Amino acid sequence: MKFTKLARLGVVGILLSTTGLAAQDLDTMTVAELLPLAQAEGTVTVYSFTSRIGKVEAAFEAAYPGIDLQGFDISSTEQIARLTAEAQAGLTNADVIYVSDAAVVLPALLEPGIIAPYVPPRVADRVPTEFKSPLLAQRLSTKVLMYNEEANPDGAPVDSLWDLTREEWTGRVVMVDPLQRGDYLDLMTEMVLQSDQMATAYEVEFGTVIDLGEAANAGEKFIMDLFANDVILVGSTDDVNAAVGGLGQDNPPIGFTSYSDRRDNEEEGWALQVANDVAPAPGIIFPAVLALSAEPNNPAAARLVIDFLMGDETETGGPGLAPFYVAGDYVTRTDIPPHPDAVALDDFTAWRVAPSATAEIRADIGDLILTLQ
């Protein structure tokens, strides 16, 4: 006998009312305790900043028959706007939020109570405190300088970010428009926050103290020079990957993209590799966080999804973590070994984003970029 959605919600309503469960009670439940409640709910909706949610959807439904996971691939920038608009309209459409761009997520979604934290008790002691609060980070993601290793078998064709401002790279640096994707704006912002390092790298590269001109600091100067050198802005990370990584190129461009996209090299016909030795850093590394809607329609299933996304008890986290256990993504669970094909996290030279510091100047950097386009 199949339940309608209304019937399922009725069942779970009875279960919750008869047991007096509140959110904090659900937060402490094991998977076994959540499962019958989640199956009674029958469905769960996830907003995800990565298209890999499609693989999670299939794996979750195979692991928990009877629960329909509806995953929506929505960029972090779009998610923040959509969730804000839905909250203002008194609507709750998503149960689980999987998002990056913490610099905006924390003040725009967490502080006003649009989303809520949840850490599955099963893995709580295996995730460092810094990745459990204020929101649970499932993994660390990246936006870094990548090059075509087929065309450059001896390593990256540049050794400094300042090389990208040289004439030989005019019109040959590619990235997603920072005003369209928040993680790329965070990348530009971090360059300003790291202005001291950028100034030092300039002196090493050109043998002279940097002349800031109209810029306030070396980070702003780099951004201004990069745009003056005709940086190519595209609409998606895949556009960057195809331009930079496409096989058979004699003199390919270079660009900022996700280190983890190397996972698609064979399938897509790319030759992407990270420029980890570039000075002062190839880019940024930042948390990909999981949260609940403040009032999820399917609270038990929502928690079950987050638990699933944190991986099972197998060595590499099983099917829930499989789409993210790839070179270039760094899982936050301490009991899961690093991916063998990735640069070790201790050797990875990307800057760690501090969301609060990013949030302070992010809008100003956006305004600067707007004047340069």
For 185-200, b/e burial (b = at least 16 CB within 10 A) is: bbbbbbbbbbbebbbe
Residue 255 corresponds to which tokens in the numbers above? Answer: 């660009």
Residue entry with tokens 């050797």: 347
pLDDT of residue 23: 75
DSSP type of residue 310: T
pLDDT of residue 12: 43
Is residue 208 within 8 Å of residue 353, measured between CB atoms?
no
Tens of pLDDT, residues 118-131 = 999 999 999 999 99
Which has more pLDDT, 188 or 12?
188
Residue 311 corresponds to which tokens in the numbers above? Answer: 């991986």
Q: Tell me the CATH number for domain 2-140+286-343.
A: 3.40.190.10
**Domains 2-140+286-343 and 142-285+349-372 alike in fold:** yes
Q: What is the mean pLDDT of the chain?
A: 93
CA–CA separation, 271 and 264 (whole Å): 9
Domain segments of the chain as ranges: 2-140+286-343, 142-285+349-372
pLDDT of residue 6: 39
pLDDT of residue 245: 98
Residue entry with tokens 């461009």: 253
pLDDT of residue 278: 98
Tens of pLDDT, residues 248-300 = 999 999 999 999 999 999 999 999 999 999 999 999 999 999 999 999 999 99
pLDDT of residue 31: 97
Q: How far is CA 91 from the centre of its chain?
A: 25
pLDDT confidence of 15, banded at 50, 70, 90? very low
pLDDT of residue 21: 62
Work out the average pLDDT over 344-361.
94
Q: Tell me the CATH number for domain 142-285+349-372.
A: 3.40.190.10
Q: What are phi and psi of 136, to 5 degrees?
A: -75, 120
Is residue 80 helix, strand or coil? Answer: helix
* 283-293 vs 96-99, strand pairing mode: antiparallel
Tens of pLDDT, residues 140-187 = 999 999 999 999 999 999 999 999 999 999 999 999 999 999 999 999
Work out the average pLDDT over 353-370.
95
Q: Name 208's Cβ contacts closer than 8 Å, sequence gap at least 6.
A: none
CA–CA separation, 372 and 356 (whole Å): 25
Tens of pLDDT, residues 310-333 = 999 999 999 999 999 999 999 999
Work out the average pLDDT over 220-247.
97
The pTM of the full predicted model, rounded to 2 decimals, is 0.88
Please check the confidence at residue 22 and state whether its pLDDT lies above 90: no
Q: Name 273's Cβ contacts closer than 8 Å, sequence gap at least 6.
A: 146, 147, 148, 149, 156, 262
Burial of 371 (0-12, 13-18, 19+ CB in 10 A): exposed
Instruction: Give whole-number Cα distances, 251 to 157, 212, 233, 246, 271, in Å.
Output: 10, 31, 19, 11, 13
pLDDT confidence of 216, banded at 50, 70, 90? very high
Report CA torsion sign: 185, 186, 191, 195.
positive
Percent with pLDDT over 90 in the chain: 91
Select from 85, 289, 221, 19 the least CA-distant residue to 11. 19
pLDDT confidence of 4, banded at 50, 70, 90? very low
